[in-house]
Amino acid sequence: MIDIMRDGRIVVHYADQKGCLAIFSCNERQLCHCQLGDPALAMTISKDDWHIITGGFNCRVKVFSAHNLTLEHTYEPFESSIRSLHISEDQRFIFAGLASGSIAVLATHMWLH
């Protein structure tokens, strides 16, 4: 998966067995990277470009800092894997589409400053 931040940084998820998240500059220089422990199936970037949100087979939504990819928050697991993610325009909620067909709505007040 690839997503681009408004400032030109490129966020890439490598789908190997453990999953790797990396941020590159617009001139292909790797700025930081981290191992996720499991591959992500969905990824989105907050509207202010401060956070990267991932979800996948482990049924958890994880929030990483877009500055250095430190894990800032992990939500409780769902009953099935996360297939899609979206953050609301006002950044108050995360919408997670699950493999079971359900949609979960998560509040961001626990980690959003």
pLDDT in tens, 1-42: 899 999 999 999 987 778 899 999 989 899 999 988 888 899
Q: Given a cut of 80, is residue 96 above it in pLDDT? A: yes
Q: Given a cut of 80, is residue 111 above it in pLDDT? A: no
Measured CA to CA, the distance from residue 57 to residue 80 in angstroms comes to: 8
What is the value of pTM for the model shown?
0.89
- The token pair at 17 is 């067995």
